[in-house]
A and B are shown apart, each in its own frame.
Chain A
Amino acid sequence: MRVINTKELIPVVNDLVKKACIDLDDNLMNALKQSILLEESELGKEVLETLIENANSAREKQVACCQDTGIAVVYLEIGQEVSWEGANLTDMINEGVRQGYGEGYLRNSVVGDPILRENTKDNTPAVIHTNIVEGSEVKITVMPKGAGSENMGRASVLKPADGVEGVLNYVIETVENAGGKACPPLIVGVGLGGTMEKSTLLAKEALKRPIGDRNPISHIAALEEELLQRINDLGIGPIGIGGRVTALDVHIETFPCHIASLPIAVNLQCHANRHASKVI
């Protein structure tokens, strides 16, 4: 059994918050560069070039690449050989979030009560997802999620008879309805199966997969390819003003489900696809 003091999480989360909000990773930068070659709209190309220039400028100046530095979604994949000691783990993660948003001059975008809507002024609390895995390590991933794209996601439970066509139509309708509001080019995360809440978790997890990687299940990979093609045929384009590149990729994650249901969730990610991870 490996014992970790929860306090060790504070500097890790602090660093990951800043890294995610400031440095867009090479996987995304390469995808944006490639997308310029595919873009047919001159204005669309200009927008994509501006986004690349912006990302480089943010890295150079060490400031946030987008002003919506999101609500912090924090994933902990905890090895089952790990035992925790020290203060409350949730509090330590939130302390890391508090420090990271403060030190990084990142925007505080969280309200404490969804009805009363008073800003918490330190971007806490984070949305925390934990998962127990094999081993004696802990993988921490911070994914700041902006509202422009998050607001346009959808979830539903389809009927098994809706089948593949039902799934394709649901995803395409979601992207079409989002239009320019979700800040395309997008990464489209789809969760398929499980239960209502499981599908939404899968949809967000799908956004962590590198752009260009396919689901290992061949018929699901084929669905990803078909969706990417059909989404880019919509004509929405960069920031929604018309063009070829509406999505950089589509990622589907699946889970077994009940004989009577076909849960589906679509989580849209704007072009500022921010996430950073560390293993301790």
Chain B
Amino acid sequence: MKFKIGDVLELFGDVYTARDAAHKRFVETIAKGEALPIDLKDATIFYAGPCPPKPGEVIGPIGPTTSTRMDPYVEPLIQQGMTAMIGKGERQDYVAELCKKHNVVYLLGIGGAAALYAENIKSVENIAYDDLGTESVKKLRVEGLKVIVGIDTKGNVLHKEGKEKFKR
């Protein structure tokens, strides 16, 4: 992928929401040799759990959660074909190594811009784990979702370079 850290992108297409509890179930399913509820080939995972929608709305406010909690699950999901993750905050160093090795990107959502992000979501399909409430896996059709490249496919890390630049 040609993107580099600090690039601001607008996303169009399908992304899947999954956070702590759904990731745990994913890796348990993989370990048992069973099929996942979603095809992760070329998939983008959005670490997010939305608010409930008001009547007539597609989705409630939604935004990225802290990504580093999902770090242990990155490698098994990449092995299933995942190519992009959307979240917030720094990650363990090995995630940048994995991105470099497998041509994967980590995209930063703007934490706390949830009312605006809801406007970029055009449809929602419940896919799996409805019992988890907000943590269930949902397929979102996004149009113009603004993200910043946080780790690129060369393994560069925006948080590190950005902080170094402005440190005094």
A interface residue numbers (CB < 8 A to B): 40-41, 43, 46-47, 50-51, 53-55, 57-58, 61, 63-69, 105-109, 117, 119, 121, 147-148, 151, 179-183, 233-237, 239-244, 270-272
- Besides A54-B116, A107-B49, A241-B159, 8 more A-B contacts (Cβ < 8 Å) are A54-B112, A107-B50, A108-B134, A119-B134, A148-B89, A180-B90, A235-B163, A236-B163
Complex contact B66–A148 (CB within 8 A): yes
Interface-side segment among B25-33, B55-63, B94-102: B55-63
Question: A102 to nearest B CB, angstroms?
Answer: 9
Determine if B44 is an interface residue (Cβ-Cβ < 8 Å). no
22 contacting pairs across A/B (C-beta < 8 A)? A40-B166, A41-B162, A43-B148, A54-B112, A58-B114, A66-B111, A67-B49, A117-B21, A148-B111, A183-B112, A235-B164, A235-B167, A236-B163, A237-B166, A239-B108, A239-B111, A240-B89, A241-B108, A241-B159, A242-B159, A242-B164, A244-B166
Complex contact B166–A107 (CB within 8 A): no
Complex contact B61–A65 (CB within 8 A): yes
Cα distance, A93 to B166, chains bound together (Å): 45
Complex contact B90–A179 (CB within 8 A): yes
The digit string for B41-65, where 1 denotes a CB below 8 A from any CB of A, is 0000000111111100000111101
Complex contact A181–B168 (CB within 8 A): no
Identify which of B48, B54, B135, B159 contacts A180 (C-beta below 8 A).
B159
Complex contact B51–A46 (CB within 8 A): no
Determine if B158 is an interface residue (Cβ-Cβ < 8 Å). yes
* B residues near A105, Cβ cutoff 8 Å: 51-54, 60
User: In this complex, what residue of B is CB-closest to A234?
Assistant: B167
| A107-B134 contact, Cβ under 8 Å, with A237-B166, A240-B159, A270-B112 | yes
| A181-B52 contact, Cβ under 8 Å, with A54-B114, A105-B60, A239-B110 | no
Complex contact A119–B108 (CB within 8 A): no
Pick from A63, A68, A105 the residue with the most CB of B within 10 Å: A68
Complex contact A65–B158 (CB within 8 A): no
B interface residue numbers (CB < 8 A to A): 6, 8, 21, 48-54, 60-63, 65-66, 68, 88-90, 108, 110-116, 118-119, 132-135, 146, 148, 150, 158-159, 161-168
Q: 10 tightest A-B contacts by CB? A: A242-B162, A235-B166, A181-B89, A235-B167, A58-B115, A67-B114, A54-B113, A183-B111, A107-B51, A180-B89
Complex contact B112–A241 (CB within 8 A): no
Cα distance, A64 to B53, chains bound together (Å): 11
Complex contact B163–A67 (CB within 8 A): no
| A107-B115 contact, Cβ under 8 Å, with A66-B61, A151-B66 | no
User: In this complex, what residue of B is CB-closest to A117?
Assistant: B21
Cα distance, A248 to B28, chains bound together (Å): 42
* A residues near B62, Cβ cutoff 8 Å: 67
Cα distance, A45 to B73, chains bound together (Å): 33
Question: B57 to nearest A CB, angstroms?
Answer: 8
* B residues near A109, Cβ cutoff 8 Å: 49, 134
* A residues near B146, Cβ cutoff 8 Å: 50
* A residues near B132, Cβ cutoff 8 Å: 119
Pick from B6, B66, B112 the residue with the most CB of A within 10 Å: B112
Complex contact A67–B162 (CB within 8 A): no
Cα distance, A67 to B117, chains bound together (Å): 10
